Amino acid sequence: MKIEIITIGDELLIGEIVDTNSAWMSRELTNNGFEVVNITTVGDNGADITEAIDRGFEKADVLLLTGGVGPTNDDITKQVLCQYFGTSLVFSNEVLENIKAVFAKRNIVLNELTKNQALVPKDCKVIQNRVGTAPILWFEKNEKVLVSMPGVPFEMKTAMKERIIPMLRQKFQLVEYIKESFIVADISESALAILLADFEKQLPENFSLAYLPSFGLIRLRLFVRGSEHKELMKLQSKKLKKKLGKYFVAKSEDSLETLLGKKLKKLGCSLSTAESCTGGYISHKITTVSGASDYFYGSVVSYNNDIKNCILDINIETLRNFGAVSKPVVEQMARNVATKMNTNCSIAVSGIMGPKGGSPSKPVGTVWIATKYNEYLLAKAYNVNSGNRNENISRTTNLAMLQLYKMLISKDL
């Protein structure tokens, strides 16, 4: 069963808003056994929306639309769908009551513009939006389905998880999507492709290997459709892990921060960070994981050398002799933040994120990372320069979490 995603909105085309809906929907649908064959973005133009629907139905069984269903004049999706399916708008008291309930929870007064959200196409299945005012519209025609949803990510995700995916699974026969995900580090994408060339050649029919590079690591996804391939997947997965050798980090779908959090929790560890060049981004990533308070105690963002000296007790002579971006400084940062926060693990980083600030001996992208686990302390130098400051910060953050994670698994007795 094939699905096309159509996102609607001028704001997407001109770059005011990044389309995160398509990426999330594709992952969720794929994980549930659906095949996404195309993603299209169109503006708030009736002819363009109609053309996208026509082209979508040529190759897909289901079209999932997001956007253009709000209360303002540029939200025209409902009107276009009425024309396409030969129906008209009618007022729904059920939708109105749902809107009133949503507004009551937010202590917002209902106005006439929002009240118009209760106008829905007569010939469609209306699904109430539990967390918003725009209803979800389900159309069927010639054994095919079109679903129109709000473009607000939280509303779309709630509708997809609670109603749309279960309804699609009930209506269509699905072929199970089987996958294994591997996290790989310390090798470039091209070098990894060379390493795995023979493995890819021997893959059975219908098996595929995808390379998903990120900042400082690569995620490999081995996948196939069909439950009959489960045993074969186990065999190919073992072969792949063996082939990866020292570059293998973990077999997991989890994010790096989730993976690190699980390991810290399993070992009963506590963590603190001392950040200079990342400005608190490492602690931000760590605390995006629910339950991080079980192991993460806090951070010192010592961007200025005076803070390194006064708060983290970094020896002033060490700073003068070696500079802030150096092995001796990050080692002291890692030790001292762990002592001050009473944690048995710590991460410390200091570097030059650019685009300015480099020197011949320490060019832009130079970063020192120190990680501590009980009495073990490791400090390593990297060059993360990509030409983009934010990417350098992201790469440093991943490398720091990865360095501690590898330390934990190497000492995990």
Rounded to whole angstroms, the Cα distance separating 54 from 66 reads 16
Using DSSP's 3-state secondary structure scheme, residue 147 falls into: strand
CA 333 vs CA 321, 326, 330: distances in Å = 16, 11, 5
Strands (E), 56-135: 62-66, 89-91, 119-121, 125-127
Rounded to whole angstroms, the Cα distance separating 288 from 358 reads 31
Encoding tokens for residue 121?
């196409």
Q: What dihedral do alpha carbons 52, 73, 25, 34 form, nearest 10°? A: -40
- Residue in the structure block whose two tokens are 């209360």: 71
Give the other-Cβ count within 10 Å of 45's Cβ.
17
Contact 332, 370 (CB under 8 A): no
Give the other-Cβ count within 10 Å of 401's Cβ.
25
pLDDT tens per residue, the chain (413 residues)?
A: 899 999 999 999 999 999 999 999 999 998 888 999 999 999 999 999 999 999 999 999 999 999 999 887 778 999 999 999 999 999 999 999 998 898 888 888 778 777 888 999 999 999 999 999 999 999 999 999 999 999 999 999 999 999 999 999 999 988 888 999 999 999 999 999 999 999 999 999 999 999 999 999 999 999 999 999 999 999 999 999 999 999 999 999 999 999 999 999 999 999 999 999 999 999 999 999 999 999 999 999 999 999 999 999 999 999 999 999 999 999 999 999 999 999 999 999 999 999 999 999 999 999 999 999 999 999 999 999 999 999 999 999 999 999 999 999 986 54
Alpha helices in 223-278 (DSSP H): 230-244, 256-267
Question: What is the pTM assigned to this prediction?
Answer: 0.81
| Pairing, β 217-225 against β 271-275 | unpaired
Question: What per-residue confidence (pLDDT) applies to 254?
Answer: 96
**What is the H or E stretch that residue 398 is in?**
helix 389-410
Encoding tokens for residue 89?
């708008």
Rounded to whole angstroms, the Cα distance separating 92 from 97 reads 9
**Helix, strand, coil percent values for the chain (each to nearest 5):** 45, 25, 30
Domains and CATH numbers, the chain: 2-171 (3.40.980.10), 177-251 (3.30.70.2860), 256-410 (3.90.950.20)
